[in-house]
Amino acid sequence: MPSDMPGVKPRTLFEKVWDAHVVEAETAETPAILYVDLHLVHEVTSPQAFALLRAQGLPVRRPERTLATVDHAIPTDSATWRAGLVRMPEAARAQIRTLGDNCADADIELLGINSSRRGIVHVIGPEQGATQPGMTIVCGDSHTTTHGAFGALAFGIGTTEVGHVLATQCLLQRRPRTLNVILDGRLPEGVTAKDAVLAVIGTIGVDGGTGFVIEFSGSAVRAMDMDQRMTLCNMAIEAGARSGMVAPDDTTFEYLAGRPKAPKGKAWDEAVARWRQLATDPGATYDAEVRLDVSRLEPQITWGTDPGMVTPVTGSIPEAPAGSPAARAVDYMGMAPESCMQGQPVDVVFIGSCTNSRLTDLRDAARVLEGRKVAQGVRMLVVPGSQATKRKAEAEGLHRIFEAAGAEWHESGCSLCIAMNGDRARPGEVVVSTSNRNFEGRQGTGARTLLASPLTAAAAAVAGVVTDPRPYLNSHRRIA
Amino acid sequence: MEPFKTLKSRTVVLAQPNIDTDQIIPARYLTTTRRDGLGAGLFADRRFDGDGRPRPDFPLNRPEVADCEILLAGHNFGCGSSREHAPWALLDYGFRAVISTGIADIFRSNALRNGLLPVVVSETQWNTLAGFEGEQIEIDLEASTVTAPSGERMAFEVEPFGRFCLLNGTDPLGFLRSREDRITAFEESGPWRR
Ligand code: SF4
């Protein structure tokens, strides 16, 4: 609704999307019934939900609003694929087979293990144009927030709720509050959306967003491309937020135009006209607001075991009083208390995950690696977010840069972001990772994770230690 | 789901804040298509060392807490992923309630839907309860109170619908399905919904 209509209360982006999907309003006793436009499904959090429907004899209500893929449990290393996946554990095989059977039974489109369009669920939704502004999007996966970059209301749900959506295309939801995170200024060279969102989490804390939907706004966000906006919204959950959103604009529409599942022709024009109405009206209010000037921001890196334990890469580990969570984290990380981040030794570097595995992320990594070598003793994995991203990167020759540097170039999937598909770090190893969670054991039992941008991760691979990526940028052409 | 009315149990304390879902149930346990049996993986990397031996310093490994059904956990418990395997693992292990000063959003709703009661108390109240580790405390969902061994009674809030479902063993899916006419009408009225 345009804001200049008399008598109409100005609304935020979130409120507009929420209001348009309320089937039944919330009361003191019952949550709202919220309609779901797009339900994304993957192999790990869906089998028990399909089983629930079967047990109750219920059909999938709207299979055409459901899109499935395999990403979490599938191996990504090329050798395993060349060997015909014989090394894939039976449990993973069973999960993938179960998803295949469930999708076939319910007539759900599955971008399965042999699909050229498969990939990480949060990469393929946008890539296929299935993710669109103004939609409600859910998935049994907390990083569903990624899709909010398009001005959708997107959030993760549990498996029981996956069952609810399969059966009714609806969810029971209490309306969250709104938090406006304003990023002013312009990101300096070598500083990315990943650094900005890590700084936000460092500022508001890992529970600072609890109960809120975050809208990311401000000039820095307007200047970001879609890949960067996705990185931003992807990590909203790491601040505890229900979701992250960015108002759609020409950048959004240009990204979506011509994608396989985007509207075409007249429907496209109508959709864009509708999407233009979604941005927050002037005068609309949020429940809370945080402002950050990013124009002097430095590359960020985490030093601890939650994403809020973060510092500029030029900084050091803060003082940690004995017995504090910070002291426990420093101990787990095996780092000297209060030591500098630069110079911390690195064993593994991972470029990938739904946070940073899209084409521009791979270009960033290549920009640092071109003409250089991964340091001796460092293992580097580059894992594209989808098979389509992989093909695009190869068409640009990025894989040759990675391979020439001595990095591994993988098939797409969640890979080392989550230690359940064969890719994992060994106990005690330090991984500089472009993923989103540095929790204890996330990348393998006893593994230690430092979260950073693709630039910072690639620079660490070359240096063999944590280092400021900025000196690595200028001597090489910008690949774009 | 079994109805939840009252629960009397001793507590075990895990005071560390921000215990995430990867700690509750490491990802390697997620390659299952079932929801039972996950108790074996509960806090696996905290409970066991690299050789699979129980770590004596981890609270759950102390013999006297074996039958505790209430977990008194540090702030922001259950942060991280939406994996419902986390509450499944806690339930399978034998917990029926988690008390904390803050419980992460998705974990809380997952817990509620599975009969694991999430209870949020103030920091002072949490400290009081922690002082009674190993002693019986009582949770009354109908009254929405926690009673400490000292007799001190603490009120807590649970989302009313979740509370109703838990008290009566009602499946929320039944409620959603009872609204199918409205859902259909909504689908037909939507400007861009076929
Ligand atoms: S890449 Fe990591 S965070 Fe993203 S969906 Fe996969 S496991 Fe989850």
For chain A, which domains are there?
A: 13-175+250-275 (3.30.499.10), 177-248+281-293 (3.40.1060.10), 300-472 (3.30.499.10)
Q: Is residue B139 part of a domain?
A: yes
Nearest C-alpha of chain B: how many angstroms from A347? Answer: 20
Residue among A94, A325, A437 whose CB faces B16 most closely: A325
To the nearest whole number, what is the mean pLDDT of chain B? Answer: 93
Q: Which residue, judged by its Cα, is nearest atom 4 of ligand 1?
A: A354
Cβ within 8 Å of B, A 91-120: 91-92, 94-95, 98
| A73 and B CB contact within 8 Å | yes
Q: Is residue B11 part of a domain?
A: yes
User: Which CATH number does the domain housing residue B116 bear?
Assistant: 3.20.19.10
Single out the residue of B113, B112, B85, B84 nearest to residue B98, CA to CA: B112
Tell me, what's the pLDDT at B50? 85
pLDDT tens-digit map of B86-116? 999 999 999 999 999 999 989 999 999 999 9
| A44 and B CB contact within 8 Å | yes
Q: Is residue B187 part of a domain?
A: yes
Tell me whether residues A172 and B175 touch, CB distance under 8 A.
yes
| B172 and A CB contact within 8 Å | yes
Cβ within 8 Å of A, B 3-62: 16-18, 20, 22-23, 26-28, 30-35, 45, 50
Single out the residue of B160, B143, B135 nearest to residue B64, CA to CA: B135
The atom of ligand 1 lying closest to the CA of A415 is 1
**A98 → chain B, closest CA residue:** B33
Residue A80 Cβ inside 6 Å of ligand 1? The answer reads no
pTM score: 0.95
Walk across the sheet containing A212-217 and list its strands: A243-245, A212-217, A177-184, A288-293
Residue B62 structural domain: 6-193
Helix/strand/coil (H, E, C) string of chain A?
CCCCCCCCCCCCHHHHHHHCCEEECCCCCCCEEEECCEEEECCCCCHHHHHHHHHHCCCCCCHHHEEEECCCCCCCCHHHHHCCCCCCCHHHHHHHHHHHHHHHHHCCEEECCCCCCCECHHHHHHHCCCCCCCCEEEECCHHHHHHHHHCCEEEECCHHHHHHHHHHCEEEECCCEEEEEEEECCCCCCCCHHHHHHHHHHHHCCCCCECEEEEEECHHHHCCCHHHHHHHHHHHHHHCECEEECCCCHHHHHHHCCCCCCCCHHHHHHHHHHHCCCCCCCCCCCCEEEEEECCCCCCEEECCCCCCCEEECCCECCCCCCCCHHHHHHHHHCCCCCCECCCCECCEEEECCCCCCCHHHHHHHHHHHCCCCCCCCCEEEECCCEHHHHHHHHHCCHHHHHHHHCCEECCCCCHHHCCCCCCCCCCCCEEEECCCCCCCCCCCCCCEEEECCHHHHHHHHHHCECCCCHHHCCCCCCCC
Q: Is residue B1 part of a domain?
A: no
Residue among B30, B76, B179 whose CB faces A24 most closely: B179
Per-residue pLDDT of chain A (480 residues; tens, 9 = 90+): 444 555 679 999 999 999 999 999 999 999 999 999 999 999 999 999 999 999 999 999 999 999 999 999 999 998 888 888 878 888 889 999 999 999 999 999 999 999 999 999 999 999 999 999 999 999 999 999 999 999 999 999 999 999 999 999 999 999 999 999 999 999 999 999 999 999 999 999 999 999 999 999 999 999 999 999 999 999 999 999 999 999 999 999 999 999 999 999 999 999 999 999 999 999 999 999 999 999 999 999 999 999 999 999 999 999 999 989 999 999 999 999 999 999 999 999 999 999 999 999 999 999 999 999 999 999 999 999 999 999 999 999 999 999 999 999 999 999 999 989 999 999 999 999 999 999 999 999 999 999 999 999 999 999 999 999 999 995 544 444
Tell me, what's the pLDDT at A263? 97
Which residues on chain A are in Cβ contact (under 8 Å) with B106?
142, 156-158
Per-residue pLDDT of chain B (194 residues; tens, 9 = 90+): 778 999 999 999 999 999 999 999 999 999 888 989 999 999 999 999 988 999 999 999 998 888 999 999 999 999 998 899 999 999 999 999 999 999 998 999 999 999 999 999 999 999 999 999 989 999 999 999 999 999 999 999 999 999 999 999 999 999 999 999 999 999 998 755 54
Tell me, what's the pLDDT at A480? 43
CA of A143 to the centre of ligand 1 (A): 7
Tell me whether residues B45 and A446 touch, CB distance under 8 A.
yes
Tell me whether residues B105 and A240 touch, CB distance under 8 A.
yes
Please count the structural domains in chain B.
1
Q: Is residue B110 part of a domain?
A: yes
